[in-house]
Amino acid sequence: MGIKALPEALNIARSMELDLVEVAPDASPPVCRIMNFTKFKYEEQQRAKESRKKATNIVVKEMKYRPKIGGGDFDTKTRKVAQFLGEGHKVKVTIMFRGREMQHPELGRRILDRVADEVITVGKVEAMPKQDGRNMTMVLGPDKLAQEKARKEAAATAPIIEDVSSEELAVVVSPEPVAEPDPAPTPEPDAEPDPAPEQDPAAEADSAPEQDPAPDPELATDTT
C-alpha cells in the first residue's frame, strides 16, 4: 500500500474492520501490517502447542546392579534397560560396591561391558565407565541407526506369508455316513403263571386237625 500517514493507515484498517499492527518498529519508516490481531495470536498459540507435542522429552533413567548379581536378575534388569533405550530415554547404569567389593573394581567394569554388549542393537555408550566413590557409573543413550538396522534385519528374517485365495483354501469333505443306532429290544411279555393244582376235598378233610368233642352237659357231675 506504500507509505501512509498514521491517521490514514488507521482509517484504512478500521474501514476493513481489522487491526493495524507494527511488525518492524526499527525500520525507517516503521513497517505495519493490517490484520486480525486476535486471530493471529490464536494461530501463534496453536503452532506453539503443536511444536511442544512433537518435541521429545528425554528422561535419564537409572538401573542399579551389584558386582555379584545373579543371572536371572541381570537378564531382567538388562531387558528393562533395552526397553528404556527403545523408548528414547538415556540410561545411567550404576554398579554399587560394598565392603571388600571395593577392592575388585574389575567386577563392576565387567558387568558394565556385558550390559553394553546386550543392548548394542538399541543403544550406545555415551559416557564411559568411571569410578564415583563406592559406585561405578556408565551412561547409555539411544542409537536410532542401530534400532533402524535391527528392525530391517527382523523384517528381512520374518517368514513371508503369501496371499491365498479362498478357492485354494476350500476343501471338499465328503460327509461320512452316520451309523444308525440299533433299535431298542422289544420287551417280551411275561409268562403267565401256572394255575394252582386243584386239591381233593377228602384230602383236605384228612389233613385238617382233629378237634376234641365238646363235653356232654348231662354227664357233668355237680361238684357243689
Give the pLDDT score at 200: 53
Name the least confident of 3-12, 35-44, 66-75. Answer: 3-12
Of residues 18 and 59, more confidently modeled: 18
Q: Say if pTM beats, i.e. exceeds, 0.85.
A: no
Percentage with pLDDT > 70 across the chain: 68
CB 113 within 8 A of CB 78: no
**Which pLDDT value is given to residue 52?**
79
Domains of the chain: 6-54 (3.10.20.80), 60-155 (3.30.110.10)
For residues 219 and 169, give the distance between their C-alpha atoms in angstroms, rounded to a whole number.
122
pLDDT in tens, 19-55: 888 888 888 888 888 889 889 899 999 998 888 777 6
- Whether cis (ω within 30° of 0) applies to the bond prior to 29 is yes
Residue 110 has pLDDT above 90, yes or no: yes
What DSSP assignment string belongs to 89-117?
-EEEEEEEP-GGGGG-HHHHHHHHHHHHH
Range of lowest pLDDT (7-11, 122-126, 128-132, 170-174)? 170-174
- Residue among 74, 153, 150, 60 at smallest CA distance from 112: 74
Does the structure show a pLDDT above 90 at 136?
A: yes
Indicate if the pLDDT at residue 142 is higher than 50: yes
Distances (CA, A) of 38 to 7, 18, 35, 46: 22, 10, 9, 13
Average pLDDT, the chain: 77
Q: Which amino acid is at 66?
A: R
First to last CA, the chain: 175
pLDDT in tens, 145-203: 878 887 887 777 766 555 545 455 444 444 555 556 566 556 555 555 555 555 555 54
Q: Is the pLDDT reported for residue 75 higher than 90?
A: yes
Q: Per-residue b/e over 123-144, b at no fewer than 16 CB within 10 Å? A: bebeeebeeeeeebbbbbbbbe
**Per-residue model confidence (pLDDT) at position 118:** 92
